[in-house]
Amino acid sequence: MSYGKEIINRSASEPVVSIVIPVHNGGEQFKRCLSAASDAISPSDEIIVVADGDTDGSWQFAEKFGVKVLKIPEAGGPAKARNLGAREATGDLVFFIDADVVIVSDTVERVTAVFRGNSGLAALFGSYDDEPSETNLLSQYKNLLHHYVHQTSKEDAFSFWTGCGAIRRDIFMEMGGFNETYRHPSIEDIELGYRLRKAGHKIRLVKEIQVKHLKRWDVISLVKTDFFCRALPWTSLILKENLLTDDLNLKTSARISTILVYLLLFTGILTFFSPWLLIPIVCCIIMLLALNRDMYLFFTKKRGLGFVIKTLPWHWLYFFYSGLAFAIGYGNYLIKRRGQIMPQRHKDTKTHKEPP
């Protein structure tokens, strides 16, 4: 549904929106992103592009497009770029979108409508749509997986997402913005979401707000992002905050699936010594298919059975390296704790005095 000119002629009582887009060599994807964002705002809104060490001329394109451009000489990461954009924003709402995302004509109107109807809401986010721009297998799989996870998760969220996420500017500034120790695209949005909920603020996943993702995924970018930029830092955050929610990528079914993938791997190796272990292998496969049945049916409906069969190894590989990341993260967590405890014990021993 499109609201057409209703977007341009929004009431004066509507919150003003500042769209913040961090970009680092965005290329043609960024041009499509900026063009779509420009078409979706009203005259009272603004677009702020933060060129984060940009060298491909994206900032020049943005300047010619007539939007506010902020430049960071050397890339410092999207957390730093978004914070800079939010500080310069004049809107009541700061609406973050990625430089490889295309919003639709009524996206901004939908965002403001949700905030208008929920005075106690601090932030919201949407999801990718089910029509990814890139047609190769991994791009279709990764984006459809993201869409499915968001569309089947709880609306009362414990996280935040900057691919398409808006927050009240005063609350954002009160929270100190994103954690700039994340120097590369990572979980800075999730970490902010955790802090927001810890401070008592409400975050909503609005499933009707959907955007198109233009990113092309390949084997290297998929594994590198999932493992190093998401799973490892997310594990550290979970252990630090002692908060493991049954939602999004952390659902109980996903955790059980991870265990089943490792059982499948180990029993598969042991079949060289005992063919009878083929029975538990079949059981593991059946249970994996059953646990993820709804998602596989969704994939079948969208792209056919052949697509599902091709993506099964990638989905199970995802469970494998997610489990590996958790094991590594938990090991690091125990080592750090031990390192903190030992000096304290040594200090207590030195200050202890025997009674006369």
**How confident is the model over 69-112, as pLDDT tens digits?**
999 999 999 999 999 999 999 999 999 999 999 999 999 999 99
Residue 4 lies inside a defined structural domain of this protein: no
Q: How many domains does the chain have?
A: 2
Domain co-membership, 194 together with 335: no
pLDDT above 60: residue 305: yes
- What was the pLDDT predicted at 347? 55
pLDDT at 166 over 60: yes
pLDDT score at 249: 78
Write down the pLDDT at residue 345: 54
The reply to whether 67 and 104 lie within a common domain is: yes
Q: Parallel, antiparallel, or unpaired for β 93-97 and 121-128?
A: unpaired
What is the number of other CB atoms lying within 10 angstroms of the CB of residue 251?
17
Q: Which residue has the higher pLDDT, 227 or 246?
A: 227
Q: Where does a domain end: 190, 216, 242?
A: 216
Q: Is residue 61 part of a domain?
A: yes
Q: Which of 184-188, 277-281, 333-337 has the lowest mean pLDDT?
A: 333-337
- Whole-number pLDDT of residue 3: 33
Measured from the Cβ of residue 253, the count of other Cβ atoms closer than 10 Å reads 15
* pLDDT of the residue at 125: 98
Question: Is residue 157 within 8 Å of 238, Cβ to Cβ?
Answer: no
Q: How far apart are CA 297 and CA 294, in angstroms?
A: 5
Q: What is the mean pLDDT of residues 21-28?
A: 97
233 and 175 belong to one structural domain: no
Name the 3-class secondary structure at 274. Answer: coil
What is the C-alpha separation between 337 and 323, in angstroms, rounded? 21
One domain, residues 76 and 126: yes
Considering the domain architecture, whether residues 62 and 192 belong to the same structural domain is answered as: yes
Cite the DSSP H helix spans in the chain: 27-40, 58-65, 78-88, 107-116, 137-151, 169-174, 188-198, 219-224, 232-241, 252-270, 278-291, 293-303, 305-351
pLDDT of residue 10: 52
Mean pLDDT (whole number) for 114-133:
96
> How far is Cα 94 from Cα 243, in angstroms, rounded to an integer?
27
Domain limit, last residue, from 196, 216, 236 = 216
304 in the same domain as 197: no
DSSP category for residue 226 = I
Residues with Cβ within 8 Å of 266's Cβ and at least 6 positions away in sequence, in order, are none
| Domain closes at, from 216, 246, 278 | 216
Token digits of residue 306? 């052949």
Q: What is the DSSP letter of 304?
A: -
Q: Which domain holds residue 280?
A: 218-341
Q: Indicate whether 47 pLDDT > 60.
A: yes
Same-domain check for residues 71 and 193: yes
